[in-house]
Amino acid sequence: MNTMRVGRYVFITVFVLCAMVVKAQTEIYPLGKLLQPNEELVMAFRTKNKKIITVNTDKNRNYIVFRYGDKDSVKFQFPQELNENSWKQFGYYSHKQSGEKINPDIEKYRLSFFYNGIRYTIDQNRHVPTEDEELELNITGIVDGCLLSAKPRTRIGSLDKLDATPISKDITSGE
């Protein structure tokens, strides 16, 4: 009887600790100036240099915007002019592949744009039904003096929200 009680306490303690770890890994953080009141968040995540990247759309789908910075300031924004033309300046790719018994279903999403000769790409790959996920930010240049690297477990939202938008489905857009 005592062994069962100890086992139950150990299980509850491990469960609570795991829940705390999961909560810490999917932290919610203030976006401040990186998300305007008239915008909807598509995706946000922290970078390894403790900055935040957001991809937002206007609530009326008038524009899409990529921002980098922190809750108090925007260090980089693309495009500068927020209008319907912004959709043509991004390339978007989505692919959903049905797996078999051995291989899981895979969903792949890519958002990219060019700015001053530098290609910015966010790749999001999800293995369904396990929900194992890879998030990569591939940038061949430097912003704010830092090479940007994503911290995947800080992601909020998903690029799949762009499936039903006027974004260019041509990944080479903006070249």
Query: What are 48-77's pLDDT values in tens digits?
Result: 888 899 999 999 999 999 999 999 999 999
Query: What are 85-107's pLDDT values in tens digits?
Result: 999 999 998 887 666 656 667 78
Three-class DSSP category at 174: coil
Three-class DSSP category at 143: strand
Q: Which residues contact 8 (CB under 8 A, 6 or more apart)?
A: none
Q: Where are the domains of the chain?
A: 27-162
Reported in sequence order, the residue ranges of 50-90 that DSSP labels E, i.e. its strands, are 52-58, 64-70, 73-78
Question: H or E stretch including 6?
Answer: helix 2-25
Rounded Cα gap, residues 49 and 28, in angstroms: 17
Say if residues 129 and 145 touch (Cβ distance below 8 Å). no
Model confidence band, residue 38 (pLDDT cutoffs 50, 70, 90): very high
For range 34-40, the mean pLDDT: 95
Query: What are 121-158's pLDDT values in tens digits?
Result: 888 877 666 556 666 655 555 565 566 677 767 888 88
Rounded Cα gap, residues 110 and 130, in angstroms: 20
